[in-house]
Amino acid sequence: MAYLGDIYSKMGVTLDPSDEYFDTDSRFMALEGILRSLPAGKLCDLGCGRGALIRRLCDHHECYGTDFDSGAVQHCQSAGLRVQQVDLNEASALPFPVSAFDVIVISEVCEHLLNPRNALQLAKKHLKSGGTLLLTVPNAVPLFARLKLLFGRSVDWLHYPSEATETTGHIRFYTIKSMSRLLQQEGFAISTISGVSFRMNGLLWQRLCYWVPRGLFKRCKSAPANMDAWLGKVMPGFSPGLLFVCTKSAR
């Protein structure tokens, strides 16, 4: 855990998205759009980092968050956010006075966990009946990885340890099918699955997602991210990121 802790500490400082990301990044746009479409309620972001999402949503939801990295937690607390340090691999309860949340977010977290089932069990325990779980993970086999594998090339994205995973801290790898199975086994009903960050499939897609919408919608800074999101909906299995919208099953 010390190895992963060092990675998360560095990521906590370097991965601190500004408000601009919510207009230009399809994952952040999708998360905010869904969360704002839900009735105002109590929200908990498990693995909130430095609090970008809950800081953004505080005007709509009563927001709470957790993170493993103490530096990220201190940063959030100094900004007045209700965030506590929690190890999602082991925690059996959340340290908040709220017993049940209307919505729980687990975004770009499960790929870092030794015990992702525990995080999902924790989410189910603290989610109201019929409540919403939003979960995002990297897709193990996006288009760029499939093309490399087709020609027998190595894909660092899929291997631990590798140069890529030692930078990102990824130790778990998911496909639509494997994450869907895990969510269903842990008591969640999946409402929708979509892809995000399609542009990350390589330079060609980065250029298409930028120049085509910029040419058509010059005054809309969200146009590239909107095209990225559209491609993710049309071809979720080819997207580098996956977004699951779930509800807590009755059982």
pLDDT in tens, the chain (251 residues): 555 666 666 655 556 677 888 888 899 999 999 999 999 999 999 999 999 999 999 999 999 999 999 999 999 999 999 999 999 999 999 999 998 999 999 999 999 999 999 999 999 999 999 999 999 999 999 999 999 999 999 888 888 888 888 888 899 999 999 999 999 999 999 999 999 999 999 998 988 888 887 777 766 878 888 899 999 999 999 999 999 999 997 66
Q: Structure pTM?
A: 0.92
Which own/partner contact pairs does 92-97 have at CB distance under 8 Å and 24+ positions apart? 92/122, 93/122, 93/125, 93/126, 94/44, 94/64, 94/66, 94/122, 94/126, 96/44, 96/64
**What is the residue extent of each domain of the chain?**
2-248
- The distance of Cα 203 from the centroid of its chain, to the nearest Å, equals 23
Closest CA to 134 of 38, 232, 236, 70: 38
Q: Is the CATH number 3.40.50.150 carried by domain 2-248? A: yes
